[in-house]
């Protein structure tokens, strides 16, 4: 029996809430990158050197990129209620191209403070942009085809791991853009491909298909579907991860004790996101959406503000964090000439210097609180000026 669909145009509150939480957690990772003394010299996921609190400080932020990409696809589907297919296709393609341009220019400038753009990193905004372009073309296909392609990519892209493992020659930049991170020279600059787009595009397609579920007017049906999908995704992660044959290029291994073996088990590959990485993050996200469906209180209203202006918040938080980091750099006695070292990817930061993890958390909370009034103002401005179409691109 066909389910009744939402007839009004109200926002899905669980999407804004989940995206808001993801935005807040994302700032923790970037604060750690710029302020923790070990951020530029060690890996928080290295089981030989990390501590449990440092490991989980990094691990919890793994949820940010996949949920962000997934919900971008969901938002695209929900827009189909107020846009024709042609309008939605044009919007997704043009916004995707804009995000790619913004990644190369604005985001890289805020990340590095390098006005010469000596290094160009293709990270999450690039991944969202190129995936939007692909989705903008895909929406002309039947819904079932989009779902099938999304599942094929997410479930099957790790088959390329076997090819990559046996490869003895360097990978081309084209292949790296598709499925493998790497450095390449580009017009006298260094191009860092950190987010190969293939699995992200597949994930966005599945997020788009989830929109058909969230558009359903039967709250009980929505919740039941999300719970089943979330539990099934988590179960798939646990079963396949335990088998340890397919789904991630880095298998888990026995460690000196049970707890660190557990850390190895949940430490999935992000660059590119493996099947295990996506199952590990999207499964719990679906459960949270089920539990938070249509919940509204003081906490959700505050958090949802960040979720309604994600790209604006992304740019603002990156600028504030790097600016604060540069201030502390000079406070430690460094000169401007040291800060603009041409060999440094990120300017005004000294590897090995910084604060302990507890201070990272304090700085993170301060950044999030400082940005709330600005995000609330912009959210209200967008709401009051819906006639300004360009606002939808920011």
Spans of all domains in the chain: 13-294+304-375+387-393
Please determine, for residue 5, whether its predicted confidence score (pLDDT) is greater than 90: no
Dump pLDDT digits (tens) for 160-176: 999 999 888 889 999 99
Confidence band (pLDDT; 50, 70, 90) for 186?
confident
For the chain, the straight-line distance linking the first and the last C-alpha, in angstroms and rounded, comes to 39
State the Cα–Cα distance between residues 372 and 135, nearest whole angstrom. Answer: 31
Judge whether 47 and 338 are in contact, CB under 8 Å. Answer: no
Output the CA torsion 357→265→278→287 (10° steps).
-80
As a whole number of angstroms, the distance between CA 27 and CA 353 comes to: 20
- Reading the block at residue 327, the tokens are 């201030």
**Residue 332's pLDDT band (boundaries 50, 70, 90)?**
very high
Phi and psi at 334, nearest 5°, equal -80, 155
User: For residue 1, what pLDDT is reported?
Assistant: 35
Give the separation between CA 30 and CA 40, rounded to whole angstroms. Answer: 12
What's the CA gap between 64 and 33, in Å, rounded? 15
Q: Is the pLDDT of residue 269 over 50?
A: yes
Find out whether 198 and 179 touch, Cβ atoms under 8 Å: yes
- How far is Cα 205 from Cα 147, in angstroms, rounded to an integer? 7
pTM > 0.85:
yes
Residue 11 binned pLDDT confidence (cut-offs 50, 70, 90): low
Average per-residue pLDDT for the chain: 93
Q: What is the pLDDT of residues 234-257, one digit of tens each?
A: 999 999 999 999 999 999 999 999
Task: Report yes or no: 203 and 70 within 8 Å, Cβ to Cβ.
Answer: yes
Q: What is the share, in percent, of the chain residues with pLDDT greater than 90?
A: 85
Confidence class for position 36, pLDDT limits 50, 70, 90: very high
Confidence (pLDDT) at 296: 79
Arithmetic mean of pLDDT, 94-112: 97
Instruction: Kindly report, residue by residue over 284-325, the tens digit of the pLDDT.
Output: 999 999 998 777 788 899 999 999 999 999 999 999 999 999
> Any idea of the CA torsion for 181, 117, 306, 292, to the nearest 10 degrees?
0
Residue 4 has pLDDT above 50, yes or no: no
Percent of the chain with pLDDT over 70: 97
């Amino acid at each position: 029996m066909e389910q009744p669909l939402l007839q009004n145009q109200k926002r899905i509150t669980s999407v804004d809430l989940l995206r808001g939480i993801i935005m807040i957690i994302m700032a923790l990772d970037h604060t750690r990158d710029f302020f923790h003394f070990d951020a530029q010299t060690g890996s928080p996921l290295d089981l030989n050197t990390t501590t449990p609190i440092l490991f989980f400080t990094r691990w919890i932020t793994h949820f940010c990129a996949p949920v962000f990409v997934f919900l971008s696809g969901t938002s695209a589907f929900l827009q189909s209620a107020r846009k024709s297919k042609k309008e939605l296709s044009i919007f997704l393609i043009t916004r995707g191209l804009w995000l790619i341009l913004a990644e190369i220019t604005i985001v890289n400038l805020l990340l590095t403070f390098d006005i010469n753009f000596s290094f160009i990193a293709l990270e999450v905004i690039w991944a969202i942009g190129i995936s939007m372009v692909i989705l903008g073309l895909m929406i002309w296909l039947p819904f079932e085809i989009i779902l099938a392609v999304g599942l094929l990519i997410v479930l099957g892209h790790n088959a390329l791991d076997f090819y990559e493992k046996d490869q003895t020659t360097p990978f081309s930049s084209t292949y790296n853009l598709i499925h493998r991170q790497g450095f390449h020279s580009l017009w006298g600059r260094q191009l860092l491909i950190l987010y190969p787009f293939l699995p992200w595009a597949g994930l966005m397609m599945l997020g788009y298909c989830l929109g058909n579920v969230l558009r359903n007017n039967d709250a009980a049906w929505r919740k039941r579907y999300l719970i089943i999908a979330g539990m099934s995704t988590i179960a798939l992660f646990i079963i396949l991860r335990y088998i340890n044959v397919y789904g991630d290029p880095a298998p888990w291994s026995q460690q000196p004790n049970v707890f660190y073996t557990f850390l190895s088990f949940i430490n999935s590959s992000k660059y590119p996101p493996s099947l295990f990485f996506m199952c590990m993050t999207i499964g719990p996200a679906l459960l949270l959406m089920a539990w938070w469906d249509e919940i509204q209180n003081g906490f959700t209203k505050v958090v949802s503000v960040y979720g309604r202006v994600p790209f604006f918040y992304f740019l603002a938080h990156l600028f504030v964090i790097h600016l604060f980091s540069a201030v502390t750099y000079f406070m430690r006695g460094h000169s401007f000439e040291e800060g603009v070292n041409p060999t440094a990817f990120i300017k005004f930061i000294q590897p090995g210097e910084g604060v302990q993890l507890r201070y990272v958390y304090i700085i993170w909370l301060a950044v999030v609180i400082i940005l709330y009034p600005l995000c609330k103002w912009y959210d209200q401005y967008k709401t009051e000026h819906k006639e300004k179409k360009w606002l939808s691109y920011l």
